[in-house]
Amino acid sequence: MTASPVLSRDADGVRTLTVDRPDKLNALDRNTLQALDQAFAAAAADPAVRVVVLTGSGAKAFVAGADIAEMNTLTAIEAREFSLLGQGLMRRIERMPKPVIAMVNGYALGGGLELAMACHLRIAADSARLGQPEVNLGLVPGFGGTQRLLRLAGRAAALELCLGGAPVDAARALQLGLVNRVVPVAELEAETMKLAAQLANAAPLALRGVLDAVVLGGECGMEEGLQFETAQFALLFASEDMREGTAAFLGKRKPQFRNR
């Protein structure tokens, strides 16, 4: 039986998913995209999982891109299906009801940057390099890169990365808004897991409400987004966790959230 290209590890409500193709710099072929899709579906359905951390195996790459050797053989029809497969995975991650943190430990290029941008938060090692180099292959990004770059970093940054095709270092990525935080590579895992633990101990229903309001509400106009936010706000007043959180605040104690 062939080993899965995605490793999974659980600890204290945090599930760490690792793309495990270090000999290919964790490149995304169809098998890996499907394995990631299944892994995220399983994480979403598991009530014991509060937060997902996504990273790549080895010291060099988060995900260095799509698998060019596989792409080279695709017909136009197959390429369309490959793009839709990747976009479906990114959409699943983006719409996860639980926070997803990308731990960017090295190269995040092409499909790798698209994968990181689909996550809700991104922490990068100071040695990481991020970019959309598809133009150098005679291509455009196919897993949502043009659209998420535009929304995350704005038109100028999207055009800079997609037209130029050159990667940027972690400091420039932070400046552009592609990542939330940059830390020394030796501290990357500890800092990421510290954030993951913080989120795992927060109120799950409130976290889901924030994700829905920002991700889904952000796809609407302002008025619709505000209505969506109000609906999320009011709905949480029916939860035990909201009563526990407010009671704990008034009682000056730590809340015990139960995801209900």
Which stretches of the chain are DSSP H helices?
30-45, 68-71, 76-94, 111-118, 145-153, 155-164, 170-176, 188-200, 204-211, 222-235, 240-250
φ, ψ of residue 22 in degrees (nearest 5): -60, -30
- Which one of the listed residues 81, 94, 114, 187 is annotated catalytic? 114
Cα 183 from Cα 143, distance rounded (Å): 27
What is the per-residue DSSP string for 2-15? PPPSEEEEEETTEE
Cα 9 from Cα 1, distance rounded (Å): 20
Q: How remote is the C-alpha of 260 from its chain's centroid?
A: 25
Look-up of token digits 């229903």: 205
Task: State how far the alpha carbon of 92 is from the alpha carbons of 105, 181, 223, in Å.
Answer: 22, 23, 25
- Which one of the listed residues 134, 189, 229, 240 is annotated catalytic? 134
DSSP label at 28? Answer: B
Is 114 among the residues known to form the active site?
A: yes
Written as six digits, the tokens of 118 are: 């689909």
For residue 54, what are the β-bridge partners?
A: 17, 102
Query: Are 257 and 208 a contacting pair, CB within 8 Å?
Result: no
Cα 181 from Cα 108, distance rounded (Å): 15
Query: Are 55 and 62 a contacting pair, CB within 8 Å?
Result: yes
- Residue 165, Ramachandran bin (φ over 0: left; ψ between -120 and 50: alpha; else beta): left
- Catalytically annotated residues: 114, 134
